[in-house]
Amino acid sequence: MFHKIVAATGTFLSWRNIARDCLREGLKPSDIIWSLEGALSNDLFGSPEETREAVSADSHKVSRRFVELARNCVCHSDGERFSILYELLFECMKEPLILENALHPLVHKAMAMSKSVSRDKHKMKAFVRFKEDLQHDTVRRKFIAWFEPEHYIVEETAAFFVRRFNDLDWCIATPKGTAFFVDSKLTFDPSPAKRIKANDDIENLWKTYYANIFNPARLKLNAMRSEMPKKYWHNLPEAELIKELISNSGRRVDDMQNSQPTKPSSFAVAARAPAVSTHKLPQQYFSSITELNNAAQKCQRCPLHCNATQTVVGEGPANAKLMIVGEQPGDEEDLSGRPFVGPSGKLLDKALAAAGVLRDSIYISNAVKHFKFEPRGKRRIHMRPNSGEIQHCKYWLINEIGLIRPKLVLAMGATAAGVLTGSDQNIGARRGSIEHSNDNYAVMTTFHPSAILRAVNADTAGQMKAHFFSDIVKAMGFATSISPTD
């Protein structure tokens, strides 16, 4: 008799490696006693044989279907799971099509186990409730969840939460092990955790959310019970509301039908407005550009902060007469933390030098302050920000303009031109003339240097460059001219 111990972390790979060894050695299912690391009863079988490292057993190939089934079954809480699986594997070697026969007792059993594990994983994704751990004053916010799965699914399901909550630190504690995601690193502790203490504020927040999304007119009790079985209720703060919400639902539906249509709240109207007016925002939030820049470093207004290295804020004197606004930092800007230091910046520097303008005398910023990119191998390919990202970042831009109060804002490219003027008219058709922002700042538009660098046709690139250089001269002339109101 051989005693095999499957690792409690990386359980599937551990079982697979041991099973391969056993097949290679020709061990029959009845020759092996399986157990999970840490769950060994004291010395009942003498000293257990060491689990060996993986061996390549190419002669023992199984179908993808078996691998998927086994990946789920090893998570099942049935103490016999490893031996049932090995028995099935052993049969698969003799009869590769055995999995097609759902009536075969072993296949039937493994499939039922796999289904139960899949369901448990699904429930974990739906019913984990994070509570913020407010005792930690760290850069990344920390969250804790307590969950009671039926099976050993925590390690396998943790990847789902990593994708969802990538920019936070969190842990999901369960009686079947704990997953930790700290500083972007996922680790797993297989030992049983103790139930964590509830934090009233967070629980109340869950209850408010649930009570608000509950629609009494769509009450389907049977569907609700099957989707949210009672056994999960004691860990769901919102569950104690269910009884009351259900008993009041009839009256609430009547009230809804009898009530008049309401006007959206002023907050909803403001939130849906396409552009934020700079009249309402400038300067009232930040007393200086330094204060604004410090706040922008912690910006999480949109998801772009998750992958960017840092917020790239504007730079230049706080009393600059000319402000130049580009689209968003590129790869080099993201790494250095300064706007326009890469290829586009070099072309801008040339244009400024040709116009006799010192870069130090103007304010240079971007419409969007985080680098948006798509990783491709080792490279990070620039992606255009979408309108939501641009609108979120407009908050910083209009506050910057409100603090610097330049005489002219030169918008380079369609993104900056669009966000400042609200017009998406072609740059070629409007460049070089004075327009007015929604808030009555003077705005001039010109080509973005990267558009010139990307132009495929040399003649076109030459023309665009000449226009770009002359627009810079014109913009500086306008910004430094004396007007009657100066």
Catalog residues that contact ligand URA under the rule CB under 6 A: 326-330, 333, 339-340, 342, 344-345, 366, 450
User: 279-310: buried (b, 16+ CB within 10 Å) or exposed (e) per residue?
Assistant: eebbeeebeebeebbeebeebebbebbebbeb
Identify which of residues 87 and 327 has a Cβ nearer to ligand URA in the complex. 327
From residue 188, alpha-carbon distances to 54, 128, 174 in Å are 21, 17, 11
Shortest distance (Å) from residue 423 CB to ligand URA: 19
Residue type at position 430: R
In terms of CB distance, is 329 or 402 closer to ligand URA?
Answer: 329
Report the alpha-carbon distance of residue 146 to residue 195 in Å, rounded: 7
Distance of closest approach, residue 431 Cβ to ligand URA, in angstroms: 16
Nearer to ligand URA, 177 or 342 (CB): 342
* Residue whose CB is nearest to ligand URA in the complex, by number: 326
- The minimum distance between CB 470 and ligand URA, in angstroms, equals 20
Count Cβ atoms below 10 Å from residue 316 Cβ, excluding itself: 20
Query: Among residues 127 and 469, whose Cβ is nearest to ligand URA?
Result: 469
CB 207 within 8 A of CB 237: yes
Smallest gap from residue 467 Cβ to ligand URA (A): 18
Min. distance of Cβ 451 from ligand URA in angstroms? Answer: 10
Beta carbon nearer to ligand URA, 15 or 340? 340
Query: Closer to ligand URA at the Cβ: 150 or 332?
Result: 332
Q: Which is closer to ligand URA, CB of 157 or CB of 344?
A: 344
CB of 333 to ligand URA, least distance (A): 4
User: What distance in Å separates the CA atoms of residue 468 and residue 461, rounded to the nearest whole number?
Assistant: 10
- CB 381 to ligand URA: min, Å: 14
Residues 6+ apart with CB under 8 A from 449: 343, 344, 345, 347, 348, 351, 412, 468
Using DSSP's 3-state secondary structure scheme, residue 286 falls into coil
Give percent helix, percent strand, percent coil of the chain, each to the nearest 5. 45, 15, 40
Sign (positive or negative) of CA dihedral 303, 308, 311, 313 = negative
How many whole angstroms separate alpha carbon 93 and alpha carbon 23?
9
Nearer to ligand URA, 51 or 310 (CB): 310
**Closest separation in Å from C-beta 415 to ligand URA:** 8
